[in-house]
Amino acid sequence: MTVATIPEALQRISTTEPCSPLAVFRTKRDDQVDVMFASTIRTQQRIEWGDINYLGSFHRESLSEARQRLRDYSESMREVA
């Protein structure tokens, strides 16, 4: 698990191969997310168990979707605060 700012997470996603996507999870801060390889056993368990903090799994070919999802997350967190 790596806590990263949203720009850092998007940078990591932009270089990730489709065969090894990164899973992204919410944190308590609107400007940070947890980023980890989606293929690990622990990450797969979190996804399968319906972790409410799961935002999605992304790679360089889904970068535009990742940008939108993380932008929506950041904006919704600011509205709550």
pLDDT in tens, 34-54: 999 999 999 999 999 999 999
Whole-number CA gyration radius for the chain: 12
Average pLDDT over residues 25-30: 91
In percent, the amount of the chain with pLDDT more than 70 equals: 96
Structural domain range at position 74: 2-80
pLDDT band for 68, please (50, 70, 90 cuts): very high
The pLDDT score that the predictor gives to residue 40 is 97
Q: Percent of the chain scored above 90 by pLDDT?
A: 84
Q: Tokens 């999802």: give the residue.
A: 69
- The alpha helices in 1-81, defined as continuous H runs, are 6-14, 41-48, 63-80
Domain count, the chain: 1
d(Cα 41, Cα 55) in Å, to the nearest integer?
A: 18
